[in-house]
Amino acid sequence: MSIERVPIITRINTSEIEEQMCNKFADLWALKYKTIKGKPTTFISSNPFKHRPWQSAILRDAHPNKVIEKSRQLGMSEVGLSEVLHFLTTKEDVKAMYIFPRNQQMVDFSKSRIKPVLQTPYFLDKVDKTMDSVTTKKILNNWLFMRSGWEGATGEGVDTDFLAIDEYDRMKDGVELSFQEGLSASKYGYMRRWSTPSIPGRGVNGAISKSDQMRYIWTCEHCGTKQFLTFDDNLIQVNPNGVNSATQEIADGTFIIGCKKCKKPINRMGIGEWVPMYPSIHEVRGYHISQLDAAWISADNIMRRRFSYSSKQLFYNYVIGEPFASEGIKITEADIKASIRLGREQVARTSAYAAIVAGIDWGDVSYMCILGVKSNGVVDLLNLHSVHDDSKIPLKAVAYFCAILRSYQPNIVVADAGYGADKNSYGYTQFPAAWYSCYWTTNKDAHSKTRFIDQWNESSREVTVDKTLSIQRVLHSIKGHLIGLFPWCEKIAMFTQHLKNTVIMDEESDGLVYSRATRVGPDHYCCALAYGLIGVNKLTNYNINVNNSTSVEFI
């Protein structure tokens, strides 16, 4: 009987196995090959500044669509760069697109963060020196493109296999769509988005709300409670006399990051675990991480920055990594219902109104608000209209709106200039004394120093206004019940939703905090009302009298 001989393994090629593991797992690759400011990458360390255990699992995760909602200073840009470079050095004939909010940010990151890494020994024979610019790198047979995402046209027609979007919330709304199209033909189709959030439902928060929502769970060493850290539950004051409210000074040791149950300190030098809040969702992998999880950032330091931030929203965005919106200017259904004081919709001009103003927001579906202004300055919303455009019927929307407006004899029509050049040209022919095109502008100084004044050009029939101030005018008018509405119906329900989708958020630029109007869903009726109130504001700069023909006299 013969015995089959089994080969005896006398030597394991550990370097080959290690290389295979590095090729497979981006976190292991980063530990071996990726440097940060000239020093090796670390995830777990006895040094609090290098102890970032949550990064490893995010980097290893090869889910095709990942989104990270995070605080500042947690090294997520380095995590994103590590994954991009791992992809480019372990795949063949692929392209990666790395997107930044502004061109200068792209240039600075390319020079200060990417260039030093590509000059390390591991990359020296992999980078093509003849194809090495600020915006384009060739690594082996693969390409890295870096672009600003403020203008979507920069992504049109570029096929890619890996799309990385840094500070997603600081991009122009919807700009990623043109870049995403480039992924459609790729067998990889990886998309990575990470950002500090802004307001609920927008940007990274809107994306993570559709994900499995992974949270980093800590286990209390004292009572065994498992928890993810929040500002309200886990930032605990242990020295009742440690806060000087007058000087806004905090004594060392006044606050701790503690267990929400037993109130004893959480050991952030330990290692937690990522747990999905919604494990049944598989299309998007979402991660949330905060400075509360960072061992090198003390609870006292977090509270000191709470005092130093002039904007509560920016504190929650940048430090806690959570979206925030002030409740004071958010429109509710109760605000709308409290403003209903008309018996019905008005379908024509009546003697009750000294002036009629219309505001129009053009689009594939166009929206119009019709306002009545009484002789005492009181404003009522008389009617709302919307119409789908039709490529087979040129200028259908503007012709439809003009037909409706004839029964109102409008004194001013203010229409969106950005989407309606041809439409507004037609509108001028129908209401030559009333029609204006409106251009939005965003003047940061207008929000911090001086009030931007609406600029009317009578010869060109154009007006230029600050968008944020115009939207704030709408929200404050509705919130203060300064515009009368007709009874609740389908039109008012849509009008309400559009107003609820409109939010004023804080942003920071060059150390200056300013407000900006944005949206978390369709906002067309809000924009139409903003255009209308621009016209009302023009009229009410004069004294309005009503004569027998219900026209307006300016004194």
Question: What confidence tens digit (pLDDT) does each residue in 500-537 have?
Answer: 999 888 888 777 777 888 888 999 999 999 999 999 99
Q: What is the pLDDT of residue 444?
A: 55
* Burial classification of residue 130, based on how many CB atoms lie within 10 Å of its CB (0-12 exposed, 13-18 middle, 19 or more buried): exposed
Q: Which long-range contacts (CB under 8 A, 24 or more apart) does 229-235 make?
A: 229/257, 229/266, 229/290, 229/292, 229/293, 230/260, 230/292, 230/320, 231/292, 231/302, 231/316, 231/320, 231/322, 233/260, 234/258, 234/259, 234/260, 234/266, 234/292, 235/292, 235/299, 235/302, 235/303
Distance CA 285, CA 288 (A): 10
Q: What is the mean pLDDT of residues 290-307?
A: 96
Q: What is the pLDDT of residue 153?
A: 53
Q: Which amino acid is at 61?
A: D
Q: What is the mean pLDDT of residues 171-196?
A: 85
Token pair for residue 502?
Answer: 């409109």
- Reported as a single tens digit per residue, the pLDDT across 202-228 is 899 999 999 999 999 999 999 999 999
Q: What is the mean pLDDT of residues 375-397?
A: 91
**Half-sphere exposure in the Cβ direction for 96 (13 Å, CA):** 26
H-run or E-run covering 455: strand 455-457
In the predicted model, what is the mean pLDDT of the chain?
89
Token pair for residue 309?
Answer: 């931030």
Token pair for residue 553?
Answer: 């006299």
Distance CA 204, CA 170 (A): 10
Please spell the DSSP secondary structure of 45-59, one letter per residue. -SSGGG--THHHHHH
Lowest mean pLDDT among 101-115, 141-155, 418-432: 141-155
Q: How far is CA 310 from CA 24, 291, 302, 316, 370, in A?
A: 45, 19, 14, 12, 38
Cβ-proximal residues to 317 (8 Å cutoff; 6+ apart), any chain: 196, 197, 198, 323, 324
In terms of Cα–Cα distance, which of 323, 338, 208 is closest to 276? 208
Q: What is the pLDDT of residue 210?
A: 95
| Residue ranges of the chain assigned to CATH 3.40.50.300 | 17-320
H-run or E-run covering 222: none
Q: How far is CA 396 from CA 366, 410, 420, 422, in A?
A: 10, 20, 12, 11
Q: For the chain, what is the largest distance between any 2 Cα atoms, rounded to a whole number of angstroms?
A: 122
17-320 to CATH, choices 3.30.300.30, 3.40.50.300, 3.40.50.620, 3.90.650.10: 3.40.50.300
Q: What is the mean pLDDT of residues 466-482?
A: 92
- Reported as a single tens digit per residue, the pLDDT across 321-331 is 999 987 767 89
Cβ-proximal residues to 429 (8 Å cutoff; 6+ apart), any chain: none
Cβ-proximal residues to 159 (8 Å cutoff; 6+ apart), any chain: 95, 182, 185, 186
366-404: b or e for each residue (b if 16 or more CB lie within 10 Å)? bbbbbbbbeeeeebbbbbbbbbebeeeeebbbbebbbeb
47 pLDDT exceeds 70?
Answer: yes
Q: What is the pLDDT of residue 553?
A: 41
We find that the CATH architecture of domain 333-554 is: 2-Layer Sandwich (3.30)
**Backbone angles phi and psi of 518, in degrees to 5:** -145, -175
Distance CA 259, CA 265 (A): 6
Distance CA 365, CA 388 (A): 4
**Half-sphere exposure in the Cβ direction for 531 (13 Å, CA):** 29
| Residue ranges of the chain assigned to CATH 3.30.420.240 | 333-554
Residue pair 359/531 in contact (Cβ under 8 Å)? The answer is yes
Q: What is the mean pLDDT of residues 412-433?
A: 93
pLDDT-derived band at 13, boundaries 50, 70, 90: low
Distance CA 223, CA 453 (A): 60
**Cβ atoms < 10 Å from Cβ of 107:** 15
Q: What is the pLDDT of residue 545?
A: 38
pLDDT-derived band at 447, boundaries 50, 70, 90: very low
Q: What is the pLDDT of residue 396?
A: 93
Q: What is the mean pLDDT of residues 116-127?
A: 94
**Backbone angles phi and psi of 132, in degrees to 5:** -135, 85
SS (H, E, C) 343-402: CCCCCCCCCCCCEEEEEEECCCEEEEEEEEECCCCCEEEEEEEEEECCCCCCCHHHHHHH
Laid out side by side, the sheet with 379-388 consists of 455-457, 462-466, 435-441, 412-416, 355-361, 365-373, 379-388, 483-484
Reduce the DSSP state of residue 485 to 3 states and report it: strand
In terms of Cα–Cα distance, which of 231, 227, 260, 236 is closest to 321? 231
546 pLDDT exceeds 50?
Answer: no
Residues in the chain: 555
pLDDT-derived band at 10, boundaries 50, 70, 90: very low
Residue 188: DSSP 8-state = S
Place of tokens 């979402």: 286
DSSP tally for the chain: helices H, then strands E: 19, 29
**Cβ atoms < 10 Å from Cβ of 203:** 26
